[in-house]
């Protein structure tokens, strides 16, 4: 299942076609018979998503070290990504609209975010504080969408400095 994304394949059909071009190596990759889209589709549905989340976190830690001296690419914050509700029924955002939300925790030592949780599109920014890890010695500036003083008080106990919105000097 990693072959498709790692080789920039656009679809399951493209992944299968790409694997078939390397038929001389398929046995070493664990394939013991012909490759079919239905087999990969079944494997994709049954595979636990946490495997990919753990892989992404491991790779993110390694990439952060590689790009530590690069300038920041842009300001990072939460963003809502619209999805077709017919295809992603699990992502109901509104009656006729699907969505997920990314809450990005930037790393000021480089352009790679520290943490990128994917949540339900309905999750309000203030509730994302429960998802974000606060690293010791980190400084976290938050816009007013994250104001929840009870939660922030807990984070201050961890030694994090919190700035509340643009009105704070």
Cα separations in angstroms, 115 against 57, 103, 132: 8, 8, 7
Residue 1 lies in a domain: no
Residue 33 lies in a domain: no
What average pLDDT does the structure give for the chain? 76
Residue 8 lies in a domain: no
**pLDDT at position 143:** 64
Look up the domain containing 103 and give its range: 48-164
Q: Do residues 117 and 131 lie in contact, with contact meaning Cβ atoms separated by under 8 Å?
A: yes
**In the chain, % of residues over pLDDT 90:** 3
- What pTM was computed for the model? 0.51
Q: Which of 8, 48, 3, 47 is nearest to 29 (CA)?
A: 3
**pLDDT at position 155:** 52
Q: How many domains does the chain have?
A: 1
Residue 31 lies in a domain: no
pLDDT surpassing 70 at residue 21: yes
Q: Do residues 101 and 116 lie in contact, with contact meaning Cβ atoms separated by under 8 Å?
A: no
Residue 139 lies in a domain: yes
Stronger pLDDT, 147 or 25, i.e. the higher one: 25
Written as six digits, the tokens of 161 are 């400095």
Question: pLDDT tens-digit profile of 64-101?
Answer: 888 877 776 555 567 888 988 888 888 888 888 899 98
- In whole angstroms, give the CA distance from residue 140 to residue 154: 13
pLDDT, average across residues 132-159? 62
Q: Do residues 41 and 12 lie in contact, with contact meaning Cβ atoms separated by under 8 Å?
A: yes
Cα separations in angstroms, 86 against 42, 106, 119: 20, 33, 19
pLDDT, average across residues 29-53? 83
Residue 103 lies in a domain: yes
Residue 108 lies in a domain: yes
**pLDDT at position 104:** 78
146 by DSSP, 3-state: which? helix
Stronger pLDDT, 41 or 105, i.e. the higher one: 41
- To the nearest 10 degrees (0 to 180), the angle between helices 12-21 and 37-46 is 120
Question: pLDDT tens-digit profile of 23-34?
Answer: 888 888 787 888
- In whole angstroms, give the CA distance from residue 67 to residue 87: 36
pLDDT band at 154, cuts 50/70/90? low
């Amino acid at each position: 299942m990693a072959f498709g994304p790692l080789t920039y394949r656009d679809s399951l059909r493209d992944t299968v076609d790409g694997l078939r071009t390397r038929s001389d190596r398929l046995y070493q990759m664990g394939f013991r018979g012909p490759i079919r889209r239905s087999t990969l589709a079944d494997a994709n549905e049954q595979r636990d998503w946490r495997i990919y989340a753990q892989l992404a976190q491991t790779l993110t830690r390694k990439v952060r070290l590689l790009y530590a001296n690069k300038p920041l690419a842009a300001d990072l914050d939460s963003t809502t990504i619209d999805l077709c509700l017919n295809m992603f029924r699990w992502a109901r955002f509104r009656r006729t609209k699907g969505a997920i939300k990314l809450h990005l925790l930037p790393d000021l030592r480089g352009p790679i975010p520290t943490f990128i949780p994917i949540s339900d599109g309905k999750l309000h920014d203030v509730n994302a504080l429960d998802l974000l890890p606060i690293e010791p010695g980190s400084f976290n500036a938050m816009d007013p969408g994250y104001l929840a003083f009870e939660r922030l008080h807990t984070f201050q106990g961890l030694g994090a400095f919190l700035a509340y919105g643009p009105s704070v000097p």
